[in-house]
Structure 1
Amino acid sequence: MPIAAFSVNGGPIRTGKIFGDQIIDLGEASPGFPTSIKAFLAAGDDALQRFRAVTIDDATPLPLASVRLHAPVPDPEKFLGIGLNYADHGKEGEKLGLEIPKHQKWFNKQVSCIGGPYDDIEKPAVSDQVDYEVELAVVIGRTCRNVPRDEARSVIGGYMVVNDVSARDWQFRSPTVTLGKSFDTHGPTGPWLTLDEEIDDPHKLTLRTYVNGELRQQGNTGNLIFDIYDQIAHLSQVMTLKPGDILATGTPAGVGVALDPPQFLKPHDVVRLEIDGLGHIENKVVAA
């Protein structure tokens, strides 16, 4: 069962356990339970055992439709993304003058861009090329450094859906793409954190993007150029990864900038991103 960040009627954000279309407050079900998902991950095996033990009978269940879901990890130390990491997306990138990478190409998304699963995406007045990218987000579960590839899965806390929203005009005008990846609201995540133990194989997940009901992207994580374990092994040679750190693992073909003609997001558009087994996020585009 996933773990979520939620609130009721504008009250404080709490952690909850999802049971189908219901959620229970983990603080009520297990007094003293960590009050954030990042703290839950940092608490390690003890918190995980407590989470596993909670049943729907341990607290008053609430209909999911009656609560507001928030970004599962709104304050990671690091939010990193990898570029051109699906073969089909690499090919459409070549049409734009980009090279399919021989090495992993990482960039920062500033953590201030993170939004909730149903929050609005702002189209800034200074950009006319706001684009969508459905991605599998890996959330690190424990502090680690120099992780061997064959041990990489042991440091994963769980998975989310993320939209790596990109202001392409800002992205392409600079050798570093951070500004074009980091506008406020341009990192919606969620709808909750699905724990690693709930997923048989993270490299067998289908991703989709719909814009106003039209299917724009469909891919599978089995087509990553550098898979999740390679990514963790590579990054952890450089930096210490910590609980709650978010790794956006790449997007398949079908982004708006590569369509003919390009189709960028505009106010009133509704963007829905799905990953099988992880749920969906859905965000309306509004003028900033």
Structure 2
Amino acid sequence: MRLVTFQHPADGSGAPRLGAIDPAADQIVDFTVAAPDLPRDMIGLIELGGEGLEMAAEAVAGAGVGSGGEARIDVAAARLLAPIPRPRRDLLAVGRNYHDHAREFHDSGFDATSGAEAVPEYPIIFTKATTSVIGPGDPILSDLDPTGSVDYEGELGVVIGGGGRGISKEAALDHVYGYTVINDVTARHLQHRHKQWFIGKGLDSFCPMGPLILTADEAGDVGQFHLTTRVNGEPSQDAKVADLIFDIPTLICSISAGITLIPGDIIATGTPVGVGIGFDPPIFLGSGDVVSITIDPIGTLENPVV
């Protein structure tokens, strides 16, 4: 299922609604109408687990094309928000998790943490502030970085369903609810200056997310997910998730070894080679730029820079 959080144009309050995209019709089935017993937010739906997905699937089936009523709205008429507009806690993220990007970052002069080795021995885990999350089409606020070093990082986001601590690699994917697209926007000079990366990566608007959550039951072989990034229409990143140094089960196992994961947690799994600091000289984002990240089969996340 392709789950979304959106605003309905007929709802003057602008209250977020929950729904599912019917790709064949390019419409959203509005759960507010089609499934009024479902929770009103994505985290509530995630907490229901399989039961919630069954109820959502029944709602989609019951709101068939041509069924009439107000249960459907064209995707183009709605405003898509981040699937989880305000996570419960800071997002988890992974640094230097593609071989070529690890070397790219190591050689850039902006990495104050790697020492002599470019490729890490263990996963590098950091966090991004909940207030950094924005949705598709929302502006990235480059003026919040006084150093003028805003960079993009296209990444696969993993949404946790069943929480837990001490999750094994073998069981890890059973704890995944679905997948989304994330732009791990980074102020490179701030990242270097503060060493631990939080300030450089946690500024307001520095975590675009969306356009939807593709649920794990429909994801297929995640290793074959294909990530591409374009800046102003020009290609910059191109990789498959199978190229990760530390795969998704390893990340979940490593994080949960002593930290309890909870439903709705988000893990940004790392970015491939092709970010702005990989160029000589570095190419940073500025007002008027547009970053578009596509992960097939999830969709495209596009945001302007102001």
Structure 1 length-normalised TM: 0.96
Is the Cα contact below 8 Å between 1:93 and 1:100 reproduced in 2?
no
Which residue in 1 is equivalent to 2:140?
121
Give the Å deviation of 1:125. Answer: 5.0
Which whole-Å CA distance do the structure 2 matches of 1:137 and 1:180 have between them? Answer: 19
Q: For structure 1, which segment, 125-134 or 206-215, has the greater mean C-alpha deviation from structure 2 after superposition?
A: 125-134
Which residue in 1 is equivalent to 2:83?
72
Structural mapping, 1:1-288, within 5 Å: 1-9=1-9, 10=12, 11-20=14-23, 21-54=26-59, 55=61, 56-57=63-64, 60-76=71-87, 77-96=89-108, 98=114, 99-123=118-142, 124-286=144-306
Which whole-Å CA distance do the structure 2 matches of 1:36 and 1:131 have between them? Answer: 31
Which whole-Å CA distance do the structure 1 matches of 2:147 and 2:210 have between them? Answer: 25
Give the Å deviation of 1:140. Answer: 0.3
SS of residue paired to 1:173: helix
Q: For structure 1, which segment, 265-274 or 68-77, has the greater mean C-alpha deviation from structure 2 after superposition?
A: 68-77
Which whole-Å CA distance do the structure 2 matches of 1:238 and 1:250 have between them? Answer: 21
Give the Å deviation of 1:88. Answer: 1.1
| Amino acid in the other structure paired with 1:2 | R
Is the Cα contact below 8 Å between 2:97 and 2:269 reproduced in 1?
yes
Is the Cα contact below 8 Å between 1:38 and 1:244 reproduced in 2?
yes
Q: Deviations over 1:225-264 (max 9, x none)?
A: 0000000001001211011111000000000011122100
Moved over 3 A (4+): none
| Amino acid in the other structure paired with 2:301 | I
Size of the aligned set, in residue pairs, is 286
SS of residue paired to 1:85: coil
Q: Which runs of 5+ in 1 are unaligned?
A: none
Q: Percent sequence identity over matched residues? A: 39
Which whole-Å CA distance do the structure 2 matches of 1:133 and 1:147 have between them? Answer: 28
Q: Which runs of 5+ in 2 are unaligned?
A: none
SS of residue paired to 1:53: helix
| Amino acid in the other structure paired with 2:122 | H
Give the Å deviation of 1:60. Answer: 2.9
Give the Å deviation of 1:215. Answer: 0.3
SS of residue paired to 1:121: coil
Q: For structure 1, which segment, 208-217 or 72-81, has the greater mean C-alpha deviation from structure 2 after superposition?
A: 72-81
Q: For structure 1, which segment, 178-187 or 98-107, has the greater mean C-alpha deviation from structure 2 after superposition?
A: 98-107
Q: Deviations over 1:185-208 (max 9, x none)?
A: 000000011100111111111101
Which whole-Å CA distance do the structure 1 matches of 2:236 and 2:145 have between them? Answer: 24
Which whole-Å CA distance do the structure 1 matches of 2:90 and 2:263 have between them? Answer: 10
Give the Å deviation of 1:93. Answer: 2.0
Is the Cα contact below 8 Å between 1:4 and 1:15 reproduced in 2?
yes
